[in-house]
Amino acid sequence: MMIKDQGRPVIEFERVGKRFGETVALDDVTFSVEPGTVVVLLGLSGSGKSTLLRQVNGLQQPTTGTVRVLGEEVSITRGRSLRALRRQIGFVFQNFHLVGPSTVLENVCTGLLGSLFGPRLGLAMYPRSVRRQALEQLDRVGLADRAFQRADTLSGGQQQRVAIARALVQRPKILLADEPVASLDPESSAQVMELIREIGAEDDLTVLCSLHQVELALDFADRIVGLRSGAVVLDRAAVGLSREQAMEIYGSVGAQPETAAEPARPVRVGQPALAG
Ligand SMILES: Nc1ncnc2c1ncn2[C@@H]1O[C@H](COP(=O)(O)OP(=O)(O)OP(=O)(O)O)[C@@H](O)[C@H]1O
């Protein structure tokens, strides 16, 4: 699929609202993501981060407003065009979503399933060219030597790197990451965010990543968009933004995480006491 307009933002949210019954998950969200930038969505649990990410690849449709991705309006894109659009979008999740008993290499190969016909069971079912591309991506994330190991024998940080390789093997233009380091210790979190940043720069990827850790957002984002109760309450370049300014998006909830609507995640060393 061709990008319709090279000059325009890669992702455009225009007055996007999303309701689930009485729950307002997204409230009049308007912002754009420029090509090649790393934008972090920062917000508490329930602030709408995952819902917003799901609008980008059409996993969910907005109740109101429009989402444009690579020039295509997602909600009216169907069939082949939607599949073509999705092939340009890699997605990385908090819990990795790997097939534990399968090898690392087979997990990465599944990233190309959207471009192959029919189901594939077992590594040998993938064409040699696919296995080669998967190995190349594993090499980039530093795990080529683990290719034939069961995925569930790797550490959390390594499993997330495999998931990143799986997202990259389809050569996306956009990488979406939904709390990619929420299950990891601080050291692995920084390594994974560093990797996303480095590979993003190498491949000229546009990255939209949700996080709840303010420090990580300040270290790795070009721009931070803060969400509270589904509404954008901060939209600024990370450079020059102080921790205190970023923390303001949490308001009184951030100061007293025990009052948050949902239970707070475990507090990690060096991270603020915030739910994700
Ligand atoms: N499928 C759904 N059905 C009903 N309500 C939903 C659904 N998905 C999300 N919500 C609600 O929408 C709001 C935003 O949820 P969302 O998962 O987008 O937040 P989040 O910031 O990603 O939080 P978390 O980090 O905990 O996933 C919440 O109130 C949530 O309960």
Q: How far apart are CA 152 and CA 183, in angstroms?
A: 15
In a shared domain, residues 141 and 188: no
- For 216-227, the pLDDT digits (tens) are 999 999 999 999
In a shared domain, residues 195 and 275: yes
Give which of 227, 251, 276, 250 is closest to 29, Cα–Cα.
Answer: 227
In a shared domain, residues 109 and 241: no
Q: Residue 116: what pLDDT?
A: 62
In a shared domain, residues 84 and 9: yes
Q: How remote is the CA of residue 26 from the centroid of ligand 1, in Å? A: 9
In a shared domain, residues 183 and 83: yes
- For 38-70, the pLDDT digits (tens) are 999 999 999 999 999 999 999 999 999 999 999
Last residue of a domain, one of 111, 137, 171: 171
- Residue 177, domain extent: 1-88+173-276
Q: Please measure the distance between the N-terminal and C-terminal CA atoms of the chain and give it in whole angstroms.
A: 35
Instruction: Tell me the CATH number at 272.
Output: 3.40.50.300
- Read out DSSP for 11-79? EEEEEEEEEETTEEEEEEEEEEE-TT-EEEEE--TTSSHHHHHHHHTTSS--SEEEEEETTEEGGG--H
Give percent above pLDDT 90 in the chain. Answer: 78
Q: Select the more confidently predicted residue: 266 or 171.
A: 171
How confident is residue 269, by pLDDT bands cut at 50, 70 and 90? Answer: very low
pLDDT at 270 over 50: no
Query: What proportions of the chain, in percent to the nearest 5, are helix, strand and coil?
Result: 40, 25, 40
Last residue of a domain, one of 149, 171, 193: 171
- For 229-257, the pLDDT digits (tens) are 999 999 999 999 999 999 988 875 444 33
Which protein residue's CA is at the shortest distance from atom 13 of ligand 1? Answer: 25
In a shared domain, residues 80 and 207: yes
Prediction pTM value: 0.87
How confident is residue 114, by pLDDT bands cut at 50, 70 and 90? Answer: low
In a shared domain, residues 136 and 210: no
Phi and psi angles of residue 85, each rounded to the nearest 5 degrees, phi first: -65, -45
**Which numbered atom of ligand 1 lies nearest the CA of 182?**
25
pLDDT at 272 over 50: no
In a shared domain, residues 62 and 40: yes
User: Does residue 54 have its Cβ closer than 6 Å to ligand 1?
Assistant: no
User: Does residue 55 have its Cβ closer than 6 Å to ligand 1?
Assistant: no
pLDDT at 2 over 70: no
How confident is residue 104, by pLDDT bands cut at 50, 70 and 90? Answer: very high
Task: Return the biggest CA–CA distance within the chain.
Answer: 55
Q: How remote is the CA of residue 52 from the centroid of ligand 1, in Å? A: 10
Please give the structure tokens belonging to residue 56.
């980008």
Q: How remote is the CA of residue 259 from the centroid of ligand 1, in Å? A: 18
User: Does residue 180 have its Cβ closer than 6 Å to ligand 1?
Assistant: no
Number of domains comprising the chain: 2
In a shared domain, residues 69 and 120: no
Handedness of CA 226, 228, 232, 234 (dihedral sign): negative
Which protein residue's CA is at the shortest distance from atom 17 of ligand 1? Answer: 50
User: Does residue 48 have its Cβ closer than 6 Å to ligand 1?
Assistant: yes
Q: Average model confidence (pLDDT) for the chain? A: 87
